Amino acid sequence: MKSLLDKRLLIVTGKGGTGKSVITAALALLGPREGKRTLVCEINGDERVTQLLGISPAGPEISQRAENLWTVNVQPQAAMREYALMRLHLESIYKAVFENRFVRYFLRFIPSLQELVMLGKALYHLEEKLPDGSGRFDLLVLDAPATGHAISFLSLPAVLSETVPPGAMHREVEKMRALLEDEAITAVALVTLPEEMPVNETLDLAAALVQRQLHPQVVVLNAFTAPRFAEADLAELRGKPRLLAIAEEHRLLARSSEEARATLAGTLRLPVLTIDRLYPPRFGREQVERIASQLGEELKALR
């Protein structure tokens, strides 16, 4: 399998609280280190990724943050304005139209136009060229919305291409759809936890994505607990109820970690990368570095 980092577009998604942003941040370290000009894109996010990287917020403009690393936080108004100016060319027209009360109303309710424009902006940068004709970015890492929202967000172009009548918008969504559905360009990484609900949701999410012609290519199983106590250890602890309970709970954690891995790998037939559970007071750059190196190893093992 070609490395995940050789794709052009890497979409990171998963249920809230699974560590999606931590994985995005780790990829933001790995991409540049592989020599990829990497753009990390939060979608109307809370700047969690930049926070984890220990750098100042990305903001709505693309900016270079380190060698081979650029960040942006795509926001609906700014993206809408960019899109409109691209089509209307004149600032004064933009104002006349977009400051109209009724127009604001329609923009809110045309199905997911805001999301579409944000996704459109992200994908636009994928095709941007430098003056010498090479691509401005090699890799775009997209911190996609959480499960549920992710399905509707990512399938937006497909849905709209069926419903929107022919015209400018239709051409736009068709182009986006083609990019998202092209397995050579785009990969979706599903981030999850070794617990029942997140695992089930990941299975559902993967099925929903496949049904919509999108391609989950890897599962990142976060907060994984490797086995520590053997059967003999438990025998040793018999008659010491507190220590026994501590050891048994750890075994339970390790067992559910293993079960989660087996279920995900068996059902989805995708590689499952495991990231050890960490116990820091708060996640920051140091933990992201550790996770990045583990993720890097796991990715290498896949090649």
Residue 33 or 170: which CB sits closer to other proteins?
170
Sign of the torsion formed by the C-alpha atoms of 159, 164, 167 and 169: negative
Q: Is 87 in the site for other proteins (CB under 8 A)?
A: yes
Q: Is 127 in the site for other proteins (CB under 8 A)?
A: no
Q: Which residues lie below 8 Å from residue 136, measured CB to CB, with a gap of 6+?
A: 37, 125, 128, 129, 130
Q: Is 152 in the site for other proteins (CB under 8 A)?
A: yes
Q: Which residues lie below 8 Å from residue 48, measured CB to CB, with a gap of 6+?
A: 21, 42, 143
Q: Which two tokens stand for residue 289?
A: 């570095």
Measured distance CA(221)–CA(219) in Å, rounded: 6
Q: Is 170 in the site for other proteins (CB under 8 A)?
A: yes
- Region of 22-30, 128-136, 236-244, 295-303 interacting with other proteins (CB under 8 A): 236-244
Measured distance CA(274)–CA(261) in Å, rounded: 8
Q: How far is the CB of 33 from other proteins (least distance, A)?
A: 27
Q: Is 83 in the site for other proteins (CB under 8 A)?
A: yes
Contact letters for other proteins, residues 238-277 (x by CB under 8 A): --x-xx--xx-xx-xx--x---------------------
- Region of 60-68, 118-126, 237-245, 295-303 interacting with other proteins (CB under 8 A): 237-245
What is residue 73's three-state secondary structure?
strand
Binder to other proteins among 66, 130, 207, 228 (CB under 8 A)?
A: 228
Per DSSP bridges, beta strands 186-192 and 216-224 are parallel
Per DSSP bridges, beta strands 63-66 and 69-74 are antiparallel
Name the phi and psi angles at 283, rounded to 5: -75, 135
Helix (H), strand (E) at residue 258: helix 241-268
Contact letters for other proteins, residues 194-223 (x by CB under 8 A): -xxxx-x-----------------------
Q: Is 64 in the site for other proteins (CB under 8 A)?
A: no
Q: How far is the CB of 116 from other proteins (least distance, A)?
A: 10
Q: Is 281 in the site for other proteins (CB under 8 A)?
A: yes
Q: Is 106 in the site for other proteins (CB under 8 A)?
A: yes
Q: Which residues pair with 272 in a beta bridge?
A: 219
Half-sphere exposure of residue 180: CA atoms within 13 angstroms, side-chain side: 29
Q: Is 89 in the site for other proteins (CB under 8 A)?
A: no
Per DSSP bridges, beta strands 69-74 and 9-14 are unpaired
Binder to other proteins among 1, 66, 110, 130 (CB under 8 A)?
A: 110
Q: Is 233 in the site for other proteins (CB under 8 A)?
A: yes
- Please check whether residue 249 is in contact with residue 16, taking contact to mean a CB–CB distance below 8 angstroms: no
Which residues of the chain form contacts with other proteins (CB under 8 A)? 15-17, 48, 83-84, 87-88, 93, 96-97, 100-103, 105-106, 108-113, 145-146, 148-149, 152, 163-170, 195-198, 200, 228-229, 233, 236-237, 240, 242-243, 246-247, 249-250, 252-253, 256, 279-282
